[in-house]
Structure 1
Amino acid sequence: MPITRRQFIARTLGGGLGLGALAGGAGAMQAYAPAQLNVHRAALAGLTRPVRVAVLSDLHFGPLIGVSQVRGWISKALAARPDLILLVGDLLDASYSSRPADDDGAAASELTANEAAQPWENADLSAFLGELGRLRAPLGVYGTWGNHDYGSFARMAHEAGGNWRTDWPRFRASLFAELGRRNIHILREKGVLLRPDLYLGGVDDLWWGQPDPARALADAPVDAARLLMSHNPDVLMNLGADVLPPESGLMVSGHTHGGQVRLPFYGAPVVPSEYGQRFAQGWVAGQHGTRGFVSRGLGVSGVPLRSLCPSEVVLLDLRPPG
């Protein structure tokens, strides 16, 4: 039976391997080391001119990641002067929506976010949103939700009990509105034409939403390049070439953290993907030849450790073929 990242870390820390490889602060030092800026180049049919895309994934702002770390990541991304910035999920990793539910459990639509209650009163979270608000790019800043975002919306079991809240959509709607006020646009089964030669779509989280790539890319021009944001890379496996053509399409993901803990000559003992190492990090492909890129992410989840798996801001340098 596969084990989770938390189970692996717990077992490892209980034995000599953990004491030798992760104890002594080595894993923590790697977890909080400055993020790398990793540039990757690829040709993308449909483009008529180059585009530089900065990818920030898995920030996990919360108990293990503070504003100072986020500030450094934002500054590093801005210094690269990208044309487009993508936030591919797991922005939050904290129960900021833990106040009691309304009596009627009323849900708020993202389309009526101004009518939603505003639960985001935590001072640290306000500072976090302020840092995200610094992000600017000529083609815009876009994002999508991840599974830990849904945990922060109280979509998962409430920390004080075991029941799911019925009013969790109002928290999602509120954060949607707060990000929108900072010109960060969350795409759920939606798309936008960024340039005549470039279309961007985004889908909801695989675990807690109902991702529909075909719907997200439905309005893409036939001859334009296509980018798709999906927090979870497993969406790529069965994605058809008619939706995301191998030559002109690319899906960008995070979620796996590259395993977060990797061992010499072995790799990551745990990758939170149904397909294991196949979608751990870097350039990947689905079974129909569809292309994807999986970021190792920036923050940490479960435990404040990274081993041989440094955090990264990704810069995708995409160019026309030839």
Structure 2
Amino acid sequence: MMKKFLYVILGVLFLSSCRSNLYVLPSLPPETSVADSIRLVDTEITSSKAGSGYRGISRVRTYKFSHPDVPAAFDGFRIAFISDLHYKSLFKEKGLENLVRLLNDQRADALLVGGDLHEGCEYVAPVISALAAVKVSMGTYMVLGNNDYEACYADIVRQLEAHNIHLLEHRVDTLKRDGAEILIAGVRNPFNLQKNGVSPTLALSPDDFVILLTHTPDYAEDVAITNTDLVLAGHTHGGQVTLFGLYAPILPSHYGQRFRGGLKRNSQGIPMIITNGLGTSNRNIRMFAPSEVVVIELNVHH
């Protein structure tokens, strides 16, 4: 009887960890503490297909981000962000097919990808071909992860060029709408700080709205990322295997649990959204670290 009760409690906790949540992330005034500036709305996504309706993806997390630098022309602009597909791991063909369907259903204006695409060179072409099938009016932008630099790098670059996906290796691309613009800066191999330890955002204007895309969140703490308004990162898998979503025994970050996942800030107060990602590494298992797609809606700060 006690064992059955324990299973019920575990099941409830697991299901609650897989909900699709809506977060509102207002800008951070200098005089305001982090705790006072982030409000959890905890609203279910209304689409009947959200979350576990797409097999292979546990949830969609939607953040609303308002900032003084967001131009009026980009009010309501939707960015889909994914990372760590590790195709094929626990994330297999059906998951990849459903990911494309889910992303198209989200009707994002741009798709950003945080790297670690594959678990074998033979999977590079199919995973990039699938991402190219996502319909976004403002394009798809990508940085690479440690897996991508360790193997098949040349294949990845060729496939991205063939499918017109923008690879941001210490490059900045401009998204333009109705005479206004926002900037997407990408980090080349963030684990090699000797070569890449100067952020591509340093040369940008503080008046621009700048998103920094990096595979690991550690980069945003390791180096100065001046002029960045929002960081998007992956790599941690949310811990992949956690104790009820509270603690990850193994975490690929030298900052411990600090940047495990979700909505965080670096020491300079710059907001970071760290996704749990989609696939798995080392072991094909997730526990209380649900796979996810992130959607960010930009809003003008009032």
The TM-score by the shorter chain falls in which range?
Answer: 0.7 to 0.9
Instruction: Provide the residue aligned with 2:190 in structure 1.
Output: 206
d(CA) in 1 for partners of 2:143 and 2:124?
Answer: 18
Residue aligned with 1:233, SS: coil
1:62 maps to amino acid: K
Task: Return the offset for 1:181.
Answer: 1.6
Give me the whole-angstrom Cα distance separating, in 1, the residues matched to 2:89 and 2:210.
36
Counterpart of 2:150 in structure 1 is 151
How far is the alpha carbon of 1:151 from its aligned partner? 2.6
Match of 2:164 in 1: 183
TM-score by length of 2: 0.74
Cα distance in structure 2, aligned partners of 1:151 and 1:80: 32
Unaligned ranges ≥5, structure 2: 1-9, 16-51
TM superposition shift of 1:317: 1.1
Q: In the alignment, residue 295 of structure 2 is paired with which amino acid?
A: L
Match in the other structure for 1:197: 181
CA apart distance, 1:91 = 0.7
**Inter-CA distance 305–296: structure 2 relative to 1 (3 Å threshold):** same
Q: What is the deviation of 1:309?
A: 1.1
**In 2, distance between residues paired with 1:279 and 1:142?**
23
User: Aligned AA for 2:151?
Assistant: S
Equivalent runs, 1:1-322 vs 2, <5 Å? 33-48=56-71, 49-50=74-75, 51-94=77-120, 96=121, 122=122, 125-153=124-152, 172-195=153-176, 196-208=180-192, 210-212=195-197, 214=199, 216-218=200-202, 220-240=204-224, 242-244=226-228, 249-264=229-244, 266-322=246-302
**Residues of 1 paired with 2:56 and 2:139: CA distance?**
28
Provide, for residues 245-293 of structure 1, a one-character-per-residue CA deviation record: whole Å limited to 9, x for no partner. xxxx111000000000111374222221110111011111111112211
Indicate the larger mover: 265-274 or 135-144: 265-274
Q: 1:36 to 1:219 in 2, by over 3 A?
A: same
Question: CA 1:208 to 1:148, structure 2 compared with 1: closer, same or farther past 3 Å?
Answer: farther
Structure 2: distance between partners of 1:70 and 1:213: 34
User: How many residue pairs end up in the alignment?
Assistant: 247
1:198 partner SS = strand
> Structure 1 residue 311: deviation in Å?
0.3
SS in 2 for 1:228: strand
Specify the SS of the correspondent of 2:85. Answer: coil
Q: Name the residue aligned to 1:99.
A: none
Secondary structure of the residue aligned to 2:257 is: helix
> Structure with the greater relative contact order (CA < 8 A, sep ≥ 6): 1 or 2?
1
- Which consecutive residues of structure 1, in runs of 5 or more, have no partner in the other structure? 1-20, 97-121, 154-171
SS in 2 for 1:277: coil
Kindly tell me: are residues 261 and 211 of structure 1, through their superposed partners in 2, closer, same or farther at Cα, counting changes over 3 Å? Answer: same
